[in-house]
Structure 1
Amino acid sequence: MAENILVCTAWPYANGNLHIGHLAGAYLPPDIFARYHRLIGNNVLMVSGSDSHGTPITLRADAEGVSPLEVFERFHAEFLETFQQIGVTYDLFTHTDTENHYRVSQDIFTACLENGFLYQHTEQQFYSETEGRFLPDRYIEGTCPKCGYESARGDQCDNCKSLLDPTELINPRSKNDGSVPVLRETEHFYLDLSKLNEEVLAFLSEDKDFWRPNVINFSLQYVKDGLRGRAITRDITWGIPLPLEGYDDKRLYVWFEAVIGYFSASIEWAANHGNPEKWKDWWYEPQAKTYYFIGKDNIPFHAVIWPAELIATGRHLYEDDTSKFLNLPYDVPANEYLNMEGEKLSTSRNWAIWAPDLLERYDPDAVRFYLTAIAPETRDTDFTFDDFIRRNN
């Protein structure tokens, strides 16, 4: 009997081109996986899209003197062209700036609120006196309190992968002008992850022997260390508004709403195909399997926080039959990193090979073959031009 297989791939920030690390780590593996399941007769739905609301987009827009909309639309179009060139076979590659995604994200916020998993908290947040505004987490950098890395972001350290709050950084500074921000009070909604700790731990502890060791070990330890409330709103004007009166200057935090994209994209796909309830075959059918192909830096968001969000909704969203439950992730195959010529890829140092440039110079099949051969499935791997040429000749 044919299985229903949902293939979800990481949502790239629409603030720059894709590079070889993205292709090898997050996009070619799920495409091969989806092609295999289609070939053996399974019902495959493969979805993703551009993350339109991340602060990397507003940072680029500020630098270029254009609107965030202009930035994300430009790179969304480039993503579509790259995927078409290299043959990644999405059923839908959408973006998070759609009416559908706004509605679904706001409905999930409301469900979490009504079920008692959101709370309001007044916190201290960094404020730029030179710019006259609160600074989102990625507008701040400093020294990581966990490992000492001096260029940690306000939301996560790229070196040790720890999730951070901007106030935890040592010697914080604004990425815009290098000034030292000051702390001011502001009120935000929080997802009460501590209330969800036991249910998420139970989910991770049941039948996960087939998960990759790096994923399950990290996730279990992350939860066993104790989940704590995490802000799901921020003081910005670009993003999804809260479905409440009196919060016009706040938007949903992108870490909360971007993962909802897998769900909203499935709903959008069904509507586009004239069968608005069809998405339930992958989200409510108990035997359906959902796979999330990501890079290792996204493990906590997909293996811990996204299941927590689904649990917080009550898992009956858009379904009247209360005996049915939204499916939690079946597997989260997170890949390691692809390096280049022995060094870590770095967009800030421009140490990368951009997908459009590579595909302009070489046959897409040759690129697919090589990136598949060196895919960093269980360990970091290395792209070298000598090896690329040798393996294709």
Structure 2
Amino acid sequence: MPHLLTSALPYANGPLHLGHLAGAYLPADIYARYLRLMGKDVLWVCGSDEHGAAITLRAKKEGITPRDIIDKYHTLNKDSFAALGISFDYYHRTSTPLHHETSQEFFRTLDRKGGEFIIRNTEQFYDPEFKQFLADRYIKGTCPRCGFPDAYGDQCENCGSDLSPNELINPVSTLSGARPELRETKHWYFDLAKHEDFLRTWIQEGTVDGKQVHDPSRWKKHVIGQCMSWLNEGLQPRAITRDLDWGISVPHPEAEGKVLYVWFDAPIGYISSTRQWCLEHGRDWKDYWQNPETELVHFIGKDNIVFHCLIFPAMLRAHGDYVLPKNVPANQFLNFEGDKFSKSRGWGIELHEYVEEFKDFPNGEDALRWALIRNLPEQQDADFTWDGFTEYYDKDLADKLGNFLNRVTVLTHKFFGGKVPATAIWAESQVQVQLAESLGQMATHIEAFRFKDAATTFVELATFGNTYLQEAAPWSLAKTDPDDPRIATVMFDCLQIAAALALTAHPFVPLVSAKVRTVLKQEIVENGDWALARDQLAAGRALIETGHVIGKAGVLFPKIVDRKDDSLQQIIQRQRDKLTAALATRDAAATPESKEITADLPPTKPEITFDDFSKLDLRTATILTAEAIKKSNKLLHLTIDLGGGETRSVVSGIAKHFDPADLPGRAVVVVSNLAPRKMAGVPSEAMILMAEDGEGNLQFVSPPSDFGNGWTVR
């Protein structure tokens, strides 16, 4: 059975940060390495997403070509992945001729089938200063649903509504700040709504044409929830072409000057990457993509759920020849020290920066992997901190794993000259049973995409080894009787635990695994080794045989917090100093003086009369309750006290910025006479005013907390 794994193609428009690694790449690497150790036929593909308006616009701003940009970041990101042990089988590029060919073939097939595309002559916004048709994300305006002044052309981040640029009130180009012009153009749309019934059944029940193709109970709840939210709102046709000069030419006689929209060609990159690998390895790519037995799994972040669970499956279904994913274990977002990653204000650390700055840190690559694994945002957003990094390294790797391995090798050399001793007791012993159970638990967790739980089981095995060794105390037995047979039994058992740890470390911390295997003088792990170890344990056989000679571990993991050597702390401290500087910059930017000289303030809106303003009824209020709305990662449901005994229900798109638990009691200003409407099925009877800075950070517009409720703001 082939296992085909994909990770979201990173955009070749800039460097990747730790949040990207924790989302779509490190989890996939754990899974791929485990499957290989189980002897499975695994192909894991990825590559750079090298098309789209953002690349052309950046190239224009910098006065260089799109090729210059993609070449730079493709190489940078690919090298960063390799340095951190991300073991893609193939890392492709969407700018290659094979990908262009594959995408055009896909388009032609759908076009020939008929009924999959809708061709529309529409008016599209055009920036006359940049001489560029504008992608939806490069247009801002007032949301027609909630009145939010900075809604994007595809979505309002305040109320969560899906929008089109034509719906925006007073739209402006985010490139020049000018009002864009509407110009007529023709575009092809994929009729996504046509596949709504298929998608609903496939997502909810896991069936296609009455046949069970996946188990929905194994899918993450937030993945299914987001899909059903879209389906319940009704799917709409999506444009698959754009008027750009960079991208894949649309293979149609009436589409001169148009390219495929990047969302359409990017997931096809998984197919072209597979094709390229197969060309180079003498395999048939159809054995992976068109084999009903293939286990296809997409690893992504939650911002890509809609594309990989609705749009791409609908494309594959429309084509008719391709398998559908068995699972899409999307992760949530990773923040950095309590805030979103932000390159502009130096908040966070990028992968290539980590590789460079931690090159002298022992096991630095795996130290990062381990800290991320122990805190993966599998079910909810998580937060990377340098305190957490230090704690996971010192307590897990140094105190538990490293300490155990060092003691075991030292004692083996002391008592048995470095040879694995013979023992009369092994099958069905406490240790043999524990090892079989631990390997089984780790396997179960990994196969269910619960990588944090698998890592916890790994640490528990190391803890078991330390406890067993300490309680058995062979050094005490030797004082009484150097020939006590229990000494051999204890050391034999501990060496089996060490061998199990060396093997099972491989999916999580592969460089550490290789180092420990070298200490034990075992070959570097190969495909099938986990399955072999499982079978050996089940049969009561040892993982490392009697008479085998081992080396000495020494200090595998020098501690960061060390009273005698602070060199590792200094590396961490440099990162803390950068955070301090970033905080100072952020605080300075928040002052009124800084705001007055900010270059990228949004343009002022058209002039209105006092009568226009006086139609707004702005009132002071206090938030009474706040809770998340199911099926939405953006919206919170609030109740507010509007004074005079009146309370109202409010839906606000601030879930990414505020913890609901922190909001009750907060004084706010609301638009109290906004027409009521339902959002995500919840009534909203007012709108809370917010201020947003250039980084997208939100703050309440608030009166003093003791001002009272229901008073007019004017």
Q: What is the TM-score when the length of structure 2 is the normalising length? A: 0.51
Aligned amino acid, residue 131 of structure 2: G
Which deviations, in whole Å up to 9, do the C-alpha atoms of 1:285-329 show, x marking residues without a partner? 22211111111011100000001111111x23xxxxxxxxx1011
Change (3 A) 1:333 1:168: farther
1:202 aligns with 2:201: yes
Which residue in the other structure is 2:23 paired with? 25
1:312 aligns with 2:318: yes
Change (3 A) 1:338 1:105: same
Query: 1:174 offset after TM fit, Å?
Result: 1.4
Q: Do the aligned residues in 2 keep the contact of 1:102 with 1:240 (CA within 8 Å)?
A: yes
1:247 match: secondary structure: coil
Which residue in the other structure is 1:323 paired with? none
Which residue in the other structure is 1:321 paired with? none
In the alignment, the residues of structure 1 paired with residue 273 and residue 316 of structure 2 have an alpha-carbon distance, to the nearest angstrom, of 15
Q: Do the aligned residues in 2 keep the contact of 1:59 with 1:139 (CA within 8 Å)?
A: no
Aligned-residue identity in percent: 46
In the alignment, the residues of structure 2 paired with residue 149 and residue 293 of structure 1 have an alpha-carbon distance, to the nearest angstrom, of 33
In the alignment, the residues of structure 1 paired with residue 378 and residue 113 of structure 2 have an alpha-carbon distance, to the nearest angstrom, of 38
Return the match for 2:293 from 281, 287, 298: 287
Q: Do the aligned residues in 1 keep the contact of 2:296 with 2:326 (CA within 8 Å)?
A: yes
Aligned amino acid, residue 58 of structure 1: T
Query: 1:160 offset after TM fit, Å?
Result: 6.9
Query: 1:136 offset after TM fit, Å?
Result: 2.2
| 265-274 vs 142-151, greater mean Cα deviation | 142-151
- Report the RMSD for the aligned CA atoms in angstroms: 1.9
In the alignment, the residues of structure 1 paired with residue 143 and residue 21 of structure 2 have an alpha-carbon distance, to the nearest angstrom, of 29
| 14-23 vs 347-356, greater mean Cα deviation | 347-356
Query: 1:15 offset after TM fit, Å?
Result: 0.6
Query: 1:142 offset after TM fit, Å?
Result: 3.8
Query: 1:169 offset after TM fit, Å?
Result: 3.6
1:33 match: secondary structure: helix
Report how many aligned residue pairs link the two structures: 379
Return the match for 1:74 from 69, 72, 75: 72
Which residue in the other structure is 1:344 paired with? 340
Change (3 A) 1:21 1:163: farther
Change (3 A) 1:372 1:171: farther
Which residue in the other structure is 1:334 paired with? 330
Which residue in the other structure is 2:63 paired with? 65
Q: Do the aligned residues in 1 keep the contact of 2:130 with 2:176 (CA within 8 Å)?
A: no
Which deviations, in whole Å up to 9, do the C-alpha atoms of 1:194-248 show, x marking residues without a partner? 2222222222132312110011111123123221111110111100001122422
In the alignment, the residues of structure 1 paired with residue 141 and residue 191 of structure 2 have an alpha-carbon distance, to the nearest angstrom, of 27
Aligned amino acid, residue 20 of structure 1: L
Change (3 A) 1:80 1:148: farther
Aligned amino acid, residue 303 of structure 1: C
Q: Do the aligned residues in 1 keep the contact of 2:53 with 2:244 (CA within 8 Å)?
A: no
Return the match for 2:249 from 241, 244, 258: 241
Q: What is the TM-score when the length of structure 1 is the normalising length? A: 0.91
Aligned amino acid, residue 338 of structure 2: G
Which residue in the other structure is 2:34 paired with? 36
Greater RCO structure (CA 8 Å; 6+ sep):
1
Q: Do the aligned residues in 2 keep the contact of 1:146 with 1:162 (CA within 8 Å)?
A: yes
Q: Do the aligned residues in 2 keep the contact of 1:161 with 1:297 (CA within 8 Å)?
A: no
Which deviations, in whole Å up to 9, do the C-alpha atoms of 1:226-283 show, x marking residues without a partner? 21111110111100001122422110000111111111211111112123x2x22222
Q: Do the aligned residues in 1 keep the contact of 2:374 with 2:392 (CA within 8 Å)?
A: no
Where structure 1 has 5 or more consecutive residues not aligned to the other structure, the ranges are 317-325
Which residue in the other structure is 2:225 paired with? 217
In the alignment, the residues of structure 2 paired with residue 188 and residue 11 of structure 1 have an alpha-carbon distance, to the nearest angstrom, of 25
2:179 match: secondary structure: coil
Aligned amino acid, residue 211 of structure 1: W
In the alignment, the residues of structure 1 paired with residue 248 and residue 331 of structure 2 have an alpha-carbon distance, to the nearest angstrom, of 30
Change (3 A) 1:359 1:240: same
In the alignment, the residues of structure 2 paired with residue 23 and residue 9 of structure 1 have an alpha-carbon distance, to the nearest angstrom, of 10
Q: Do the aligned residues in 1 keep the contact of 2:77 with 2:352 (CA within 8 Å)?
A: no
1:37 match: secondary structure: helix
Which deviations, in whole Å up to 9, do the C-alpha atoms of 1:87-142 show, x marking residues without a partner? 00001001101111111111111111111201210112111122333222233234
Which residue in the other structure is 1:124 paired with? 123
Which residue in the other structure is 2:451 paired with? none
Change (3 A) 1:387 1:160: farther
Change (3 A) 1:41 1:264: same
What pairs up with 1:1-393 in 2 under 5 angstroms? 3-116=1-114, 117-143=116-142, 151-156=150-155, 164-207=163-206, 208-275=216-283, 277=284, 279-313=285-319, 315-316=320-321, 326-362=322-358, 363-393=364-394
Query: 1:85 offset after TM fit, Å?
Result: 0.4
Aligned amino acid, residue 365 of structure 2: P
Aligned amino acid, residue 301 of structure 1: F
| 202-211 vs 256-265, greater mean Cα deviation | 202-211
In the alignment, the residues of structure 2 paired with residue 256 and residue 236 of structure 1 have an alpha-carbon distance, to the nearest angstrom, of 14
Query: 1:354 offset after TM fit, Å?
Result: 0.8
Which residue in the other structure is 1:320 paired with? none
